Amino acid sequence: MSRELLRTQLASVEIERQGWCVRDQIPLDVITILAGMAGIAKSTILAWYVAGLTRGTLPGDFYGAPIPVAIIAGEDDISRMLVPRLKVAGADLNLVTALSGVRVTEQEGDWITSPNLSDDMTSIRTALIETGARLLIIDPIISLMRGDSHRLEDVRRNLDPLASMAAELDIAIVCVAHFNKGGGQASDKVSGSHAFRDIARSMLLLAVDEETDNRILSVEKSNYSPVKPSLAFRVDSVEVPTKSGEMTMVGQAVMLGDSSLTVQDILNRDLSVLGERSSDLIDYVNRQPEGARAEDVAVALDIPINQARTYLSRAASSGRIARAERGVYTALRNTDATTADPVGSVASVANPSPPPTYATHATDVTGPGDVAKAVANGVTPYCSHGVTSGSRCSKCGGVAA
């Protein structure tokens, strides 16, 4: 390997206009990061972008001029997820190419594996040139990387050649990333090294507005646009016929227009909305070895069930509890963000924890109000609803004497 320092006399450089794949959101020649919590519809909104670009309907340099798109979907099956999602979004599938794998041939035989940036950059570049793609989507970027995504050197080693290729081919590259758990600034929640944010020239963040169930897409960082718009969309479930004649369900993004709400607004609200009930809620969930549902929390804290659902969802979004499965919330497992489920399931599952040690100075309760007071004081309440001795009551959360 040889290295040569390149020099450019700036007096010879002519000023050029920044190109846009999608105006004010996805610039050409550079990397854009799209990040959000797992299972939040990142792939669904990307399908909407692909549909608009392959139909020439999105504002930007390709308005009225449909373009080819290439996709590396490291986690989605092409026939079961990718094609149905693009189909309901209205994409022209004749202009979409999936770079679906790499055939490895050795003396022992051959097999198909996933592409990676270390070994397959030349093949990816060739495919982009041959298909004429002006947008490359990598969903998620971590699936193509070698090394530790939390080490600056490893991230740079993977993404610097990718950024150079974007500039060389005059294309846009969108890399999908996940959020870390916990609060903080929106731009700091992208999982992995700060190098992801440094390399990206544009950063799109996605979150759910729990009050409306709409998705909010914000431009958190833009090096080339003075405008940082937010868009609101909802996700509808749509049936798609399969080759067997049966129907399958996929999500479809339905655009609702511009929004004054930002992802940072949602994160700030998630951290503060619980107010005085925060410690009660978190403590109650942490005391449930099998997890808690909104119905349980509503009874235990003496609040309406819809309010309980909102509080649980926001506590999970801010990283203070985990969403184990649909409707069930548990204490957080003690793992690093790099071990989070890479497949993008709705939420991570908490590790089983031993039964809690109950205080000897437990207090008798007959209603949810007493439970909330006892839990807030660090006391495990006894229940008098007739459950088996030592069991936890689903009505009040107390433990039978």
Which residues 6+ apart lie within 8 Å of 7 measured at CB? none
pLDDT in tens, 85-132: 999 999 999 999 999 888 988 888 888 888 999 999 999 999 999 999
Q: 3-class DSSP state for residue 64? A: coil
Residue 391 reports pLDDT greater than 60: no
Residue 44 reports pLDDT greater than 70: yes
- Dihedral sign from CA coordinates of 169, 134, 343, 113: negative
Residue 291 reports pLDDT greater than 60: yes
Q: Which CATH number fits domain 16-260: 3.40.50.300, 3.50.50.60, 3.90.1170.50, 3.30.200.20?
A: 3.40.50.300
Query: Do 318 and 185 meet the contact criterion of CB atoms below 8 Å apart?
Result: no
Question: pTM above the 0.75 mark?
Answer: no
Query: Do 64 and 56 meet the contact criterion of CB atoms below 8 Å apart?
Result: yes
pLDDT of residue 110: 87
Residue 67 reports pLDDT greater than 60: yes
pLDDT of residue 270: 55
pLDDT of residue 274: 57
Q: What is the mean pLDDT of residues 208-232?
A: 88
Tell me which range, 45-49, 227-231, 321-325, is most confidently predicted by mean pLDDT: 45-49
d(CA 329, CA 191): 22
Q: What is the mean pLDDT of residues 372-394?
A: 48
pLDDT in tens, 166-179: 999 999 999 999 88
- Dihedral sign from CA coordinates of 109, 115, 119, 120: positive
Residue 180 reports pLDDT greater than 90: no
Of 349 and 365, the one with more pLDDT: 365
The proportion of the chain whose per-residue pLDDT surpasses 90, expressed as a percent, equals 46
Residue 333 reports pLDDT greater than 80: no
* Range 38-52 burial, b when 16+ CB lie within 10 A, else e: bbbbbbbbbbbbbbb
d(CA 174, CA 196): 12
Helix/strand/coil (H/E/C) assignment for every residue in 83-150: HHHHHHHCCCHHHEEECCCEEEEECCEEEEECCCHHHHHHHHHHHHHHHCCCEEEEECHHHHCCCCCC
Q: What is the mean pLDDT of residues 297-308?
A: 84
Of 225 and 33, the one with more pLDDT: 33
Distance from the first to the final alpha carbon of the chain: 74
Q: 3-class DSSP state for residue 221? A: strand
Residue 395 reports pLDDT greater than 80: no
d(CA 166, CA 55): 22
Closest by Cα among 315, 353, 347 to 334: 353
Strand partners for 36: 178, 206
pLDDT of residue 350: 26
Among 34-43, 164-173, 295-304, 328-337, the minimum mean pLDDT is found in 328-337
Q: Where are the domains of the chain?
A: 16-260, 268-400
d(CA 296, CA 395): 7
Residue 15 reports pLDDT greater than 50: yes
Confidence of residue 354 (pLDDT cuts 50, 70, 90): very low
Average of per-residue pLDDT values in the chain: 81
Confidence of residue 228 (pLDDT cuts 50, 70, 90): confident
* Range 75-110 burial, b when 16+ CB lie within 10 A, else e: bbeeeebbbbbbbbbebbeebbbbbeeeeeeeeeee
Say which residue the tokens 């050029």 belong to.
16
Residue 368 reports pLDDT greater than 50: no
d(CA 101, CA 117): 12
Give the Å distances, CA to CA, from 377 to 96, 273, 362. 59, 21, 11
Confidence of residue 277 (pLDDT cuts 50, 70, 90): low
Among 103-107, 142-146, 251-255, 307-311, the minimum mean pLDDT is found in 307-311
pLDDT in tens, 138-156: 999 999 998 888 889 999 9
Give the Å distances, CA to CA, from 31 to 62, 166, 311. 18, 7, 36
Of 202 and 350, the one with more pLDDT: 202
Confidence of residue 336 (pLDDT cuts 50, 70, 90): very low
